[in-house]
Structure 1
Amino acid sequence: MTTKSDGNDATVSRVSSALEYWPAPPPWGWTADDLDHLPAEGPNGEPDFFKHVELIDGALVFMSPQRRFHQLLIRRLSERLDSQAPDHLVAVDQMDVKLSRRTRPCPDVMVIDAEAAADYERTYYLPEEVHLVVEIVSPESVDRDRKTKPLRYAEAGIRHFWRVEEDAGRPVVYVYERDPAGGAYSLTGIHHERLAVSVPFPIDVDLAVLVK
């Protein structure tokens, strides 16, 4: 039987071998578990090279530096969701969710089970622990946030998804709910000045003040 230590050692060895092919992906591809074993420095000694990276369909995706608009929305929306969530749920930001062996994105905000959030050793959460995913669209992430990621979140069974876009310096929230029959997200509302919904729990947010 393979021990946890043996498994970690094998993953570390696999990641080291994979980086020999850099910048091309290794022939066997990247996996979600590889992200926990990427080195602090890049292949050429670049500091914090792998600090902001996610895995989408087996490909490493490097996230661009955040704009102030993006950072404010993450922090303030997380605070408001956390303050309104029932005791068994917690809002977290910029933590991974492992959707499959080849896909491990890092959503801007999630609402997860409080029990899972209480484990401070966790580096990612599982779809069944996630009740809401929020992606805040950046210029370089438009296609991923509008197309690829929602599809993968829905396939994994995450019931609620929000996409936040910028319109003239203000946030606009597109709210989606997963249809259990078809397994895809359906748009349930577009919110400009105020976001008021009843699921996954009663939420009321004044959107205009999030970026002031």
Structure 2
Amino acid sequence: MKAGKPHRKATSTSVRGTPGELGVDEWFELNSRDDGSRYELIDGNLIVSPAPSFGHRRLGDRLRAYLESVCPREMVAVTATGLLLDRKPGVIPDLMVVDRAPFEEDAEVARAEWVRLVVEIVSRSATATDRRIKHTKYAEAGIPHFWRIEMRPFRGQGNEKLSVIFAYALEANNEYRLTHRIGAGSTLELTEPFPLTLVPAVLTEI
């Protein structure tokens, strides 16, 4: 299954109501605009992010292709696909591994209970959102695995080479626990959410 856009084509870009009252159709309309931006709603706040950079997209495309090749048949890796929070609009994660069945039945957006892994590549324009806000929202939604990928120098980086991947697993209290941290130049074997090998350096090659 190819990763699709988080929206369907709309005949109008008008938005009715306030951000907190947007329905899924209106969210689709926002994300049908031709400016390349992502429109997300978190706790009723509208967050607009510019189109991802080349490096950001390249890393995401490489990681999606790899995850697609190793995930179980009943799952699929997707990019630029909307995710409902509390069954309402909604965020657009950089990448998700989701249950395949709902999308074979023409689901247009993901529900949290279908998501096995969600990945955010930290962007310059949405650093706080990617590092903290989405981290919290994904945990509250019960998504079992979350990865954060740092492509640019960050506080606490130390001697690690970029990119650095932080892997989290959900605890019983619906909070994430950091399970692994791996920088470029290293290799990590994981068993969850399914067996895979992470090699950050390969993801950032041009």
Q: TM-score, normalised by structure 1?
A: 0.78
Q: Would you say the 8 A contact 1:164–1:173 is kept in 2?
A: yes
Alignment match, 1:7: none
Which of the two has higher C-alpha Rg? 1
Distance 1:62 1:191, change over 3 A: same
Higher helix share: 1
How many angstroms apart in 1 are the aligned matches of 2:51 and 2:31? 20
How many angstroms apart in 2 are the aligned matches of 1:164 and 1:158? 17
Q: Structure 1: state its 5+ residue gaps.
A: 1-11, 19-25, 42-47
Distance 1:63 1:87, change over 3 A: same
How many angstroms apart in 1 are the aligned matches of 2:63 and 2:90? 22
Alignment match, 1:81: 67
Q: Map 1:34-183 onto structure 2 (within 5 A).
A: 34-38=26-30, 40=32, 48-49=34-35, 52-100=38-86, 103-119=89-105, 121-167=106-152, 170-180=162-172, 182-183=173-174
- When the two chains are superposed, the root-mean-square deviation of aligned CA atoms in Å is 2.4
Q: Would you say the 8 A contact 1:90–1:117 is kept in 2?
A: no
The CA deviation at 1:36 is: 2.6
Q: Would you say the 8 A contact 1:172–1:191 is kept in 2?
A: yes
Structure 1 residues 115-160: Cα deviation after superposition (integer angstroms, max 9, x where no partner): 12324x4331101100000000011111111111111111111010
Q: TM-score, normalised by structure 2?
A: 0.80
How many angstroms apart in 1 are the aligned matches of 2:181 and 2:150? 10
Pairs aligned (count): 184
4+ residue runs over 4 A deviation: none
Matched letter for residue 67 of structure 1: S
Q: Structure 2: state its 5+ residue gaps.
A: 1-10, 154-160
Q: Would you say the 8 A contact 1:58–1:102 is kept in 2?
A: no
Alignment match, 2:158: none
Identical residues among aligned pairs (%): 33
How many angstroms apart in 1 are the aligned matches of 2:138 and 2:151? 22
How many angstroms apart in 2 are the aligned matches of 1:123 and 1:203? 28
